[in-house]
Amino acid sequence: MDMQNKRVAAIHDLSGVGRCSLTVIMPILSAMGVQACPVPTAILSTHTGGFGEVAFQDLTDYLPQALSHYQRLNLDFSCVYSGFLGSEAQIDHCLAFFQAYPDALAVVDPVMGDHGRAYRTVTEGMQRRMIELVGIADIITPNLTEAALLTGSSPDDSPEAIMSRLETPNAVITSVPGGEDEIGYLARLNGRVLRVHKPKLSLELHGCGDVFASALCAQLLNDQPLPDALQKAADFCDGCIRKTAQRQPGHWYGLA
Ligand code: PXL
């Protein structure tokens, strides 16, 4: 298939400022040759990680309407890729999206929290239902906090133990501490455990997970085998982090 005909239904929020979710996912998918079709779950003035009180417009009712239109058009998607969700009901709408396109690559980034804590918009109900959504995915990309939340693990459990409790066919855990000054990815791809380590820079960057997961999606749709897709997406994300670190004046949010 012509790459430009590969469409991704990208079910994520649109945060105006902060360089995360759709504002980074769309350009990365596009630049890597696949058509990014945004299905916004919410519109926010900024992401929720440090800009104070945000303007938040929930788009829960929009999701089934968009799906129903795409079905009337007999439009196909090569991939359905979900991320940050604005309400518990959106999990049902996401499930409907994945079920409507059973042949599409199902990528779930279970965006729920970081640094051992859930984001403030993520309720306990959402955390419980996210386990259901993860259950239908071909591949998931939780960070270590999210992997712990999904498996009822303590954040102090070893990444390997947490990984062994994840039941999806393929999982990549991001933000896994490596050796000294290293951070990396712990993956289980078709039963094979892989690790990719990168130098840890002293930057706190929101949206890294979105940069990584969207690059991974694009690489998989570009017919890269899973381990190659993982390596390429990790290299791409690391390159973005390095560029960001070189920028002057620096900024604390998002990747350059
Ligand atoms: O990248 C994760 C993310 C996505 N969307 C919103 C967020 C965050 C992380 O803080 O706040 C709105």
Nearest CA to ligand 1 atom 2: 207
Nearest CA to ligand 1 atom 1: 207
Q: What spacing in Å lies between the alpha carbon of 137 and ligand 1's midpoint?
A: 20
Q: What spacing in Å lies between the alpha carbon of 48 and ligand 1's midpoint?
A: 6
Residue 160, H or E segment: helix 159-165
Q: Is the shortest distance between the CB of 44 and ligand 1 below 6 Å?
A: yes
Amino acid at 195: R
Q: What spacing in Å lies between the alpha carbon of 198 and ligand 1's midpoint?
A: 23
Q: Is the shortest distance between the CB of 42 and ligand 1 below 6 Å?
A: no
Q: Percent of the chain scored above 90 by pLDDT? A: 84
> Is the confidence at residue 1, as pLDDT, over 50?
no
- CB count in 10 Å sphere of residue 136: 15
Residue 64, H or E segment: helix 62-72
Q: What is the pLDDT of residue 111?
A: 96
Taking phi over 0 as left and psi of -120 to 50 as alpha, with beta for the rest, 230 belongs to alpha
Q: Is the shortest distance between the CB of 51 and ligand 1 below 6 Å?
A: no
Residues constituting the chain = 256
What string of DSSP letters covers 80-120? EEE---SSTHHHHHHHHHHHH-TTSEEEE----EETTEE-T
Q: What spacing in Å lies between the alpha carbon of 73 and ligand 1's midpoint?
A: 31
* pTM, full prediction: 0.96
Q: What is the pLDDT of residue 4?
A: 54
Q: Is the shortest distance between the CB of 48 and ligand 1 below 6 Å?
A: yes
| CA–CA dist 114, 112 (Å, integer) | 7
Give pLDDT tens digits for 73-125: 999 999 999 999 989 999 999 999 999 999 999 999 999 999 999 988 899 99
Give pLDDT tens digits for 168-213: 999 999 999 988 889 899 999 999 999 999 998 877 788 999 999 9
Question: CB of 229 within 8 A of CB of 219?
Answer: yes
Q: Is the shortest distance between the CB of 19 and ligand 1 below 6 Å?
A: no
